[in-house]
């Protein structure tokens, strides 16, 4: 019996290698172009849709923004992994009895979405990269009582990504200071004539 289970696992592993599992797993960000705009010091974030139309069971292990931006620009926080691993069961994306897709909007207060980016107070310029979701793929659901990670792992470290960017825009205080300075220069020129 155990020999048959091992052979079935090896067959599924061969079935999932290469491109066969990658094409079945998709990540779409919200906004769809992955571009966010925020003011310096503000926290912005991405919603997402994650789909798995393959035969395997996907479990997110973490998310990241790559390449890692300089700290002078801000920092990324993974919001998805704590949701997927919370509670008595894992949130597994895959065939029945699990869910084949998950869609979630970004909400800073509820800490939902794939991730958030907190812009540094002095952030300037654009940061471009990719939001990367790292996952493991299994032949059995990690929520199944008979799940054995040693036997049921098909892919230990997979990844799917989407382009993402953050553009800081000047805050109202910066705009007000710039306008005030411009008015002061104009007044000085008028009074010196």
* Least confident range of 118-127, 140-149, 180-189: 180-189
CA dihedral 67, 71, 74, 77 (to 10 degrees): 60
**Residue from 63, 62, 75, 175 nearest 127 by CA:** 75
Residue 8 vs residue 87, higher pLDDT: 87
Dihedral sign from CA coordinates of 15, 16, 19, 24: positive
Kindly report, residue by residue over 93-110, the tens digit of the pLDDT.
999 999 999 999 999 999
Q: What is the mean pLDDT of the chain?
A: 83
Full-model pTM:
0.75
CATH, domain range 2-191: 2.60.40.10
Q: Could you give the CA distance from residue 71 to residue 159 in angstroms, rounded to a whole number? A: 24
Q: Could you give the CA distance from residue 86 to residue 81 in angstroms, rounded to a whole number? A: 8
pLDDT interval class at 86 (50, 70, 90)? confident
Kindly report, residue by residue over 51-72, the tens digit of the pLDDT.
999 999 999 999 999 999 888 8
Q: What is the mean pLDDT of residues 5-16?
A: 44
pLDDT at residue 84, as a whole number: 80
Distance in Å from the first CA to the final CA of the chain: 98
């Amino acid at each position: 019996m155990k020999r048959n289970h091992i052979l079935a696992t090896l067959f599924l592993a061969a079935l999932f290698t290469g491109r066969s599992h990658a094409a079945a797993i998709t990540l779409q960000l919200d906004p769809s172009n992955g571009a966010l705009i925020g003011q310096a010091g503000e926290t912005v974030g991405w919603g997402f849709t994650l789909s798995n139309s393959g035969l395997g069971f996907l479990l997110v292990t973490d998310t990241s923004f790559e390449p890692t931006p300089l700290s002078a620009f801000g920092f990324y926080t993974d919001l998805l992994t704590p949701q997927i691993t919370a509670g008595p069961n894992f949130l597994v994306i895959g065939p029945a009895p699990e869910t084949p897709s998950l869609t979630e909007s970004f909400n800073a207060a509820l800490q939902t979405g794939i991730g958030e980016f907190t812009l540094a107070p002095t952030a300037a310029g654009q940061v471009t990269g990719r939001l990367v979701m790292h996952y493991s793929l299994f032949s059995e659901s990690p929520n199944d009582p008979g799940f054995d990670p040693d036997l049921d792992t098909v892919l230990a470290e997979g990844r799917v990504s989407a382009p993402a960017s953050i553009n800081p825009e000047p805050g109202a205080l910066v705009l007000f200071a710039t306008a005030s300075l411009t008015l002061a220069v104009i007044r000085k020129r008028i009074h010196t004539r």
